[in-house]
Amino acid sequence: MGGSCSVLGTAECRRCINADGGPPAVNARLLEAARQGDMEAMERSVTEGASVNAVDTHGWSALHYTAAAGQLEVCKFLLHHSSDVNSTLNDFSTPLMLAVEEGHLNVAKLLLSNGAMPWCKDETGFTAKDRCDKSIQTDVAQLLSQDRINAVKV
C-alpha cells in the first residue's frame, strides 16, 4: 500500500499509510486510465467518485503513472483534484523521483511547485536528485541542485 512522504525532524521522510476511499471498481478504472494516459476516462472516473489517491497493489497512484510518463496536463488535472504529490510506492519512490528518472523537466517543475519534497529518500536512500542522470539531464539536475527550489510556473 502506498503512503505519503512526510518531513520528520531534520527533513527525513517516512511513509504514512493513507486511506483511499472511493468505490474499488471506479478506482481501478481511474488507475487503468492513468496507465493508458486516457484523460477522458480519468475525468469520468473522478466524476463517478474515484479517489485520485487510490493505489494499486504496488503502491502506484494515478499521479505516479502520469508523472513517469511525462503527461503534464494529466498531472495538472490530478493535482487540481488534490492528488498527494508526495505519495510513495512500496519502495518509497515519489512521483517527483519517477519524473526525474525519465527526464520530464516540466512535470518535475509542476510537482515541485505543488509541494513535492525533493529531499525524500527511496528505500535505497536515493533522492530525486540522486536518481537523475546528471550527465545527460543537466536541466533536471540544475533544477534539483538549487539551494532553494522556487515555485516554477509551467
Q: Quick check: is 50 in a domain?
A: yes
Q: Which domain holds residue 60?
A: 3-145
Residue 21 pLDDT: 66
Q: How far apart are CA 120 and CA 138, in angstroms?
A: 20
Residue 12 pLDDT: 28
Q: Quick check: is 22 in a domain?
A: yes
* Contact predicate 101/93, CB 8 Å: no
Q: Tell me, what CATH number does 124's domain have?
A: 1.25.40.20
Which parts of the chain have pLDDT scores under 70? 1-22, 134-137, 141, 146-154
Q: What's the predicted TM-score (pTM) here?
A: 0.80
Residue 139 pLDDT: 74
Q: Quick check: is 113 in a domain?
A: yes
Q: How many CB atoms lie within 10 A of CB 114?
A: 19
Q: Quick check: is 154 in a domain?
A: no
Q: Quick check: is 93 in a domain?
A: yes
Residue 26 pLDDT: 86
Q: How many CB atoms lie within 10 A of CB 108?
A: 31
**Structurally, how many domains does the chain consist of?**
1
Residue 34 pLDDT: 93
Q: Quick check: is 151 in a domain?
A: no
